[in-house]
Each structure stands twice: as structure tokens, then as C-alpha cells.
Amino acid sequence: MNPFAPRQIKLALLVALLASTACPHQALGQTESQAVGQSAAPGRHAPPQRSGVLTLTLNGVSRQISPPDFASMPQSTLKVHNTHSGRDEVYTGVAVSDLLRASGLTFSPETQSTFLRSYMRAQGTDFYFVLYSASEISPDLNTASVIVATRVDGHDLGDDGAFKLVSSGDKRPLRWVRNLLSLTLATVN
């Protein structure tokens, strides 16, 4: 049969059209670049997939941290003004610097050269992710606080999940990550 018969071409076009209209964002094999910039419609969040445990990865070694682990760590409080909601909020949780310290990473003259070119990638269950430089999350180098919050205003985080990354240094809450799933440290060579 002639492979270029008009019927075959029409069929191929139809198949291609159907494939392209299938919602790519629902695909399980979603790539990071597709996920970047995705966000819920203004004022409404996508149905949240709640975060349960946090995966902390340092030097390629991952550690799972659960809410009970968090409760046993030193608690930090962060008062911030959420310019998105227009409200003042008080978050409590664990400072990222304390999490990193517990995994062996602190700023010191010995770690300085690596530290200054390292960054942390914070990702939510919806694949939304942001970067912080290691210097930005170190109280030795920065006045801002960055915490993994587990509570806000005395109650749990609700739809924002078990964990939410919050920083006091940002003027807008764009790098606050709801339903935080992972924190991954990496160094630029």
C-alpha cells in the first residue's frame, strides 16, 4: 500500500493532533522545565497534594525527615508580612541552617570556598521549585531567616502541607514553597 496515500496522511495528522491535545501537565513523566512557572489561577491554589515527609539531600546522600523528627529539633519563629495575602503571619518550624548543621554542613573557614558557590533547591509536591544560595540561608552570612515551617499563627499549615519553606528576606512570598517535598544542596563547579 502506498504509505503517502491521502487517507494515511489524514489519519497520521489526526493521531498527532490527539496526542498534542492530551494534557501534557498531567503526564507522570513531566519534566522540570515544563513544571517551571506553572501556578494556580490567581487567588486559588491547585488541589494540593499534601507534603508528608521532607527529603534533605546533601552531597548526594538523602535523608527523610518526618513531622515527629521536626518536633524534636530546636524550634524557630519567624514573623513575616505576607504581601500576597496582606496579612502578618507568625511561622514556627526549624531553621534550614539547623537542618543543614544536623547533616554536617556549616559555614566555616574550611567550608567557605565550597559554601559560597553552593545553592539549595527547594521543591514542592507540585514540582514548583526555587533556589536559594547557601549564603542566603546561613545566619553567619545573612541577616534573613529561612525556615521550614510546620505551623502558622498557632495552627497547622492546612492546605499548605506538613512543611512550608518561608524566608524573611524576600519582599514577596514567591520563594516560599508550600507543600515542601525536598531540599537539595548542590555546588557549582
Q: Which residues bind ligand MTE (CB under 6 A)?
A: 39, 82, 84-85, 124, 126, 128, 173-174, 176-179
Shortest-Cβ-distance residue relative to ligand MTE: 124
Smallest gap from residue 36 Cβ to ligand MTE (A): 10
Smallest gap from residue 31 Cβ to ligand MTE (A): 17
CB neighbours of residue 66 within 10 Å: 11
> By three-state DSSP, how is residue 17 classified?
helix
Rg (CA), the chain: 21
Q: Cβ closer to ligand MTE: 94 or 178?
A: 178
User: Residue 122: what are its φ and ψ, rounded to 5°?
Assistant: -115, 120
Q: Cβ closer to ligand MTE: 29 or 37?
A: 37
The residues, any chain, with a CB within 8 Å of residue 61's CB and separated by 6 or more, are: none
Q: Cβ closer to ligand MTE: 128 or 132?
A: 128
Smallest gap from residue 114 Cβ to ligand MTE (A): 28
Q: In whole angstroms, give the CA distance from residue 91 to residue 137.
A: 16
